[in-house]
Structure 1
Amino acid sequence: MEKRRLWLKKEKKKSKNLSEMTECEMKSETKCDPTAFNSTFLHGSPTPICSCLVSFFNSHFISFNYFSISATANVRYSLNVPQSALAGDFDSGNLENISEVLMEATSPVRRVLFISAGASHSVALLSGNIVCSWGRGEDGQLGHGDAEDRFSPTQLSALDGHEIVSVTCGADHTTAYSETRTEVYSWGWGDFGRLGHGNSSDLFTPKPIKALHGLKIRQIACGDSHCLAVTMEGEVQSWGRNQNGQLGLGTTEDSLVPQKIQAFEGTPIKMVAAGAEHTAAVTEDGELFGWGWGRYGNLGLGDRNDRLVPQKVSSVDGDKMVMVACGWRHTISVSSLGGLYTYGWSKYGQLGHGDFEDRLVPHRLEALCGDNISQISGGWRHTMALTTDGKLYGWGWNKFGQVGAGDNIDHCSPIQIKFPQDQAHPLIQISCGWRHTLAVTDKQNVFSWGRGTNGQLGHGESVDRNTPMILEALSVDGCSGQQIESSNVDPSSGKTWVSPTERYAIVPDEPVQGPSTSVRGNGSDANVPENDVKRLRV
């Protein structure tokens, strides 16, 4: 025991002089084997000295390119090993010193790499390939093995070790992609086959989609009840609900498993976006396509007809498109010159043109003509746009404060969103849910605002917010160094059952905005069924 005390005392002294020790070790001819260190330090074998710790961090903090849905730039991050993974022959005093070394070397321990917002839930990908989810969990969309809501970010333990590089939320379901395993995982509400597993069952923990195994995926887009995946070769797979042709397969039959969109054969796709029942895509050559439900002009084709296969949008002034996003019934696109275009439904001003009239073809948003747009996101009835210099604009439906303007009135023109002065750093990512919004700054702070009933804002409460509020559990300026609660579920024990039909309410569609025969010259008005109804989630 006396020898151990002397050893611990010596080790504490070493850790205080880590910088000197590191310099000394670098000059030494003796090298520490990072591979051996990984097996000993992480799995509870003999305690390494601090020089091995430095060698381990140098060998494991590697950069990794990840494709962001904004289609603007690669996000670079480090695969940091979380402090909670450490194990070994430590007593409390020595562990405290090692903890200080870790915090200094990796501060913060976790960094948010990507965020995604669903109807009433949120998901984040953190450094170390950690996935967290929070908000509504009734349909299993959080992946924690139960139907409980979570009011703060909770680590999705079922995906630990799967090396997830992207996450995407649908309305009440979620997907994730593992690049090393070439697996797409899905979970949540399964009606219409939106999970891609060949049935309509719900899943309360992630499950790989067999039909996509082995495919290298560039991007995944999830709408209300359908999903699409773009491969590295530019091919598109689609699955789920297809009542209005939103899968692009030439039929109106739902698909319980992914199917390749044959209409894009020979036309490489750069990215896709999914709305409630319509879909949009941008090709590698900058062409814009739309298909699915078109009642509000949200396909951009000059009429209100549905399309069962992708059709090219021709009226964009010859500009090449580089990205596209879909709201519930409206569409947003950005040109190579940074111009922003909107079209479709505008009852709540979500198109941003200063009025509430639908547009049947893409219209340039003049209010932002002096700004270069780097990222866009569409909510149920609101829209957000991020500029290259990190400014954020929002407009549209604002009943719950989801625009973030500090009020609860609708805005039919873009308004710049203000952040707390001491936290007003440029933004690098945004994501709109149905009634809430998420954003990440270049200082790795996460903000959320809007509807909070199910905890989707992540603040540990069920309160709405009409201005951005820092999500402390995931932010550098909050408490991101603390341990995030884990769901601790066995991936094989998740509940599953078929979604009952009573989850739907039959509701009439919104009336068409503008004259019945035309909308200020934006295109002809096709026949609209008088009794057209949609099934909406209760």
Structure 2
Amino acid sequence: MAEHGGTPAPADEEEEQVWSWGAGTDGQLGTSKLQDEHLPQLLSLTSLPSVSMLACGGAHVIALTSGGKVLTWGRGNSGQLGHGDILDSSLPKPVSFLDDYVVTQASAGWSHSAFVSDSGCLFTCGNGSFGQLGHGDNTSLSTPAKVSYFVDKCVKMVACGMRHSLVLSAGNQVCGFGSGKRGQLGVSSERTKSLVNLPCVVSGLEDVEVVCIAANGDHSAAISASGQMFSWGRGFCGSSDVQTPQCLQSSLSFRELALGWNHALLLTVDGEVFKLGNTLNKQSEKQSLQVDSSEPLLEKVSGFDGVKVLQIAAGAEHSAAVTESGEVQTWGWGEHGQLGLGNTNDQNNPQLVSLGSIDQRTKDTKVYCGSGFTYVVRRYNIHHRNGCIISNV
């Protein structure tokens, strides 16, 4: 479409804000200060251009740009930042080893990292002492190395837990490697008595079309194309550990999941939030979805009545959600200020985080949780009018 005189109208542009708060003593907040922050801190974007996704781990962060470049910061003592050293970084720093690749997805574990390229290659670095890097040994690496097992398998997604990793590859195959002590690798109990440093196929998902995988702590989980949730590893709410994937018996259809150390969040296709496990949310509305005493109870998270939730995230022991209106709400453990409410109090129910105004120019809001810290990326449309740029930020 053209304006007066046949001059093309400039295309709308985007502007973004990145906020962080919570535990920050390892530089994971990207503020250049080594301290906890109890309120959201607006970051300078000069070193963090056009974020397409974040992955938050134990105390480090991975950022992917819209052009497929990778930046990392925070704790680097095991080489998890991929910079070729074991130094911390309090500001985002490019991972130069991956400059020749377009990275489309990444995951951050407690002290290891994994990256997926657009060609389906998998790279890992960081702590490898449990075999969680998948290279056939227990060596730690300070620069990303290609996992040879997946060279001809086309990796679609990777998820890093505390001491293990999961990979979803083309052909609907899910593999695990690393520590399997609690069953989180999804293989037979005989094999999980020792560490597994080469990828092994997860049992029981062969006939399931998996669209999403997740890992945190000693938990593993997946969502199928039909909206079913499968979990394995450490049991929730004191239930027994599960050696192979078990389908959660529920009539609900799920589209997103997030794992903490002791809990799981589940988002339904209708925008309702449910949880499994020992979170601080004691007042959840219990649903009669329990099949037997060994199955963890699925509970609806209170506080979202009449509100549609678009996205969820989970840290070690805190939770976050983005509502349809673009608001960010947090609840759970607050010792490091990771709830962003200006204090270190725990919260049983979702609480609104103050991040400035939201109006019709707010395009998208995403929340990401590390073990004890939180990030939000918010995008705005910048409209051009008569040669002027009009924005709400």
Same fold, TM exceeding 0.5?
yes
Question: Within 5 A, what are the aligned runs for 1:128-167?
Answer: 128-167=67-106
Shift of 1:213: 1.3
Change (3 A) 1:477 1:235: farther
Cα-to-partner distance string for 1:368-403 (whole Å, 9 max, x where unaligned) = 132222211110110111123322110011111101
Equivalent residue for 1:335, pick from 268, 271, 282 = 268
Shift of 1:110: 3.2
Specify the alignment match of 1:284 in structure 2. 225
Change (3 A) 1:351 1:138: farther
Shift of 1:417: 1.0
Specify the alignment match of 2:36 in structure 1. none
Change (3 A) 1:350 1:213: farther
2:310 equivalent to 1:374 = yes
Specify the alignment match of 2:183 in structure 1. 245
Cα-to-partner distance string for 1:91-113 (whole Å, 9 max, x where unaligned) = xxxxxxxxxxxxxxxx9993111
SS in structure 1 at match of 2:329: strand
2:117 equivalent to 1:178 = yes
Change (3 A) 1:288 1:163: same
Specify the alignment match of 1:353 in structure 2. 284
Instruction: Tell me the distance in 2 between the aligned counterparts of 1:116 and 1:337.
Output: 25
Shift of 1:202: 0.6
Unaligned runs of 5+ in 2: 1-6, 9-45, 287-294, 382-390
Instruction: Tell me the distance in 2 between the aligned counterparts of 1:418 and 1:344.
Output: 28
Question: Within 5 A, what are the aligned runs for 1:57-68?
Answer: none
2:371 equivalent to 1:434 = yes
Specify the alignment match of 1:322 in structure 2. 255
Question: Within 5 A, what are the aligned runs for 1:87-166?
Answer: 110-166=49-105
Equivalent residue for 2:344, pick from 397, 401, 408 = 408
Cα-to-partner distance string for 1:99-132 (whole Å, 9 max, x where unaligned) = xxxxxxxx99931111111111111011322110
In structure 2, give the amino acid aligned to 1:353: S
Q: Name whichever of 257-266 and 395-404 sits farther off.
A: 257-266
Specify the alignment match of 2:326 in structure 1. 390
Specify the alignment match of 2:214 in structure 1. 273
Q: Rg: which structure is higher? A: 1
Instruction: Tell me the distance in 1 between the aligned counterparts of 2:351 and 2:273.
Output: 15
Question: Within 5 A, what are the aligned runs for 1:448-467?
Answer: none
Specify the alignment match of 1:506 in structure 2. none
Change (3 A) 1:108 1:380: closer
In structure 1, give the amino acid aligned to 2:310: S
TM-score normalised by length of structure 1: 0.58
Specify the alignment match of 1:417 in structure 2. 353
Change (3 A) 1:354 1:415: farther
Change (3 A) 1:220 1:369: farther
Specify the alignment match of 2:298 in structure 1. 362
2:211 equivalent to 1:310 = no
Instruction: Tell me the distance in 2 between the aligned counterparts of 1:143 and 1:385.
Output: 30
Unaligned runs of 5+ in 1: 1-22, 27-106, 298-303, 445-475, 479-538
TM-score normalised by length of structure 2: 0.78
Question: RMSD of the TM alignment (CA)?
Answer: 2.8
CA contact (8 A) 2:177 2:200 kept: yes
CA contact (8 A) 1:143 1:187 kept: yes
Change (3 A) 1:413 1:117: same
Greater helix content: 1
Instruction: Tell me the distance in 2 between the aligned counterparts of 1:209 and 1:392.
Output: 37
SS in structure 2 at match of 1:192: coil
Aligned positions, number: 330
CA contact (8 A) 1:168 1:176 kept: yes
CA contact (8 A) 1:351 1:396 kept: no
SS in structure 2 at match of 1:153: strand
